[in-house]
Amino acid sequence: MKIVFATHNQHKLEEVQALLPPTIKLLSLTEIGCTEEILETASTLEGNAKIKANYITNTYGYDCFADDTGLEVTALNGDPGVYSARYAGDHADAEVNMDKLLANLKGISDRKAQFKTVVILNLNGKQSVFEGVCKGEILSERQGVKGFGYDPIFKPEGFSASFAQMSMEEKGRISHRGKAIQQLVQFLKSL
């Protein structure tokens, strides 16, 4: 069975492929010749994941899954949420986004936050949704250099290290994306 993972990130694709039986072969967007940008114009994570998965299924005819992730900060009413990648502006990088988040939380003692990943799967004409959440808190300054995005300022609940101080395997076991993908993998294995 061939399924498209709606990503250009070969590294992400290989991580998920390694969890699946060899009978399920994942294809990246590059492999199916999809080079056009798919605009994520929805106001929810689920909406954006649907846009990506449906675009691939409708345009290229493949079964497909797509993910979308956001960091939801309680004291900021769930921001940056669906806008996590462009919190400080359309071309903002992770450093600028973290600076903005730390500035907005300055002097605020409620540091609770969670990462959420939503995965939408289009398979055999049916759509399924999988969700993974990782609860934690926003640190007052950066800790660690691994990972990406907001990892240096996010400390998962029950741990003393930030995501940026964990190995990829350790983070993958407890992370939002890891949890959502594990559910997807269980579902695909059960077919």
Kindly indicate which of the ranges 57-65, 104-112, 123-131, 143-151 contains the residues binding ligand IMP, using the contact rule CB under 6 A: 143-151
Q: Is residue 75 within 8 Å of 102, Cβ to Cβ?
A: no
* 31 or 46: CB nearest ligand IMP: 46
Q: Does 102 bind ligand IMP (CB under 6 A)?
A: no
The verdict on whether 68 is a catalytic residue reads yes
* 57 or 84: CB nearest ligand IMP: 84
Q: Does 163 bind ligand IMP (CB under 6 A)?
A: yes
| Residue-by-residue DSSP string for 62-98 | --EEEEEEEEEEGGGTT-EETTGGGTT-TT--HHHHH
The C-alpha atoms of residue 94 and residue 48 are separated, in whole angstroms, by: 20
The C-alpha atoms of residue 41 and residue 23 are separated, in whole angstroms, by: 34
What letter would DSSP give residue 42? -
Q: Does 150 bind ligand IMP (CB under 6 A)?
A: yes
Q: Scanning residues 164 to 183, which ones bind ligand IMP (CB under 6 A)?
A: 175, 177
Minimal distance, residue 187 CB to ligand IMP, in Å: 20
Q: Does 65 bind ligand IMP (CB under 6 A)?
A: no
How much is the CA Rg of the chain, to the nearest whole Å? Answer: 17
Which residue in the set 28, 57, 69, 114 belongs to the binding site for ligand IMP (CB under 6 A)? Answer: 69
Give the angle 106-110-111 at the CA atoms, nearest 5°.
75
For binding to ligand IMP (CB under 6 A), which residues are involved?
A: 68-71, 84-85, 94, 115, 147-151, 163, 175, 177
